[in-house]
């Protein structure tokens, strides 16, 4: 495992892929604002999370909330939204399709 953060969810692999999203480029986890715990996706959080789902408020986008499953670098919300689907630390590609779900995580 390239990171030391605990990532909860269903069938989470060492690079943070899960039962729901498991392609080669599915390698981020999101720290959910409501509970402060990393999950690979909103479906894992719904299934095994805190039971409350709150998005990160814009005024807190400077806080670390996204984990690169490849190298373990933690990105702020703002860094993640501006990273063009690759890790700024190791250049590992992230799934660009994740932008379709950003409203589930970030306000």
Q: pLDDT 10s per residue in the chain (107 long)?
A: 567 899 999 999 999 999 999 999 999 999 999 999 999 999 999 999 998 999 999 999 999 999 999 999 999 999 999 999 999 999 999 999 998 999 999 99
Residue 11 vs residues 1, 33, 51, 62, 102: alpha-carbon distances, Å: 15, 22, 19, 30, 22
Number of domains in the chain: 1
pLDDT at 2: 64
Tell me if 12 is assigned to some domain: no
Tell me if 14 is assigned to some domain: no
pLDDT at 28: 97
Tell me if 9 is assigned to some domain: no
Domain that holds residue 95: 28-104
């Amino acid at each position: 495992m390239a990171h030391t953060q605990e990532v909860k969810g269903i069938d989470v692999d060492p690079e943070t892929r899960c039962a729901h999203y498991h392609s080669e480029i599915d390698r981020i986890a999101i720290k959910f604002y409501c509970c402060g715990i990393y999950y690979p996706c909103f479906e894992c959080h719904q299934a095994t999370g805190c039971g409350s789902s709150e998005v990160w408020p814009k005024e807190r986008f400077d806080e670390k909330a996204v984990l690169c499953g490849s190298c373990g670098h933690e990105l702020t919300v703002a860094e993640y939204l501006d990273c063009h689907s690759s890790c700024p630390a190791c250049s590992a590609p992230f799934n660009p399709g994740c932008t379709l779900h950003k409203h589930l995580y970030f306000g």
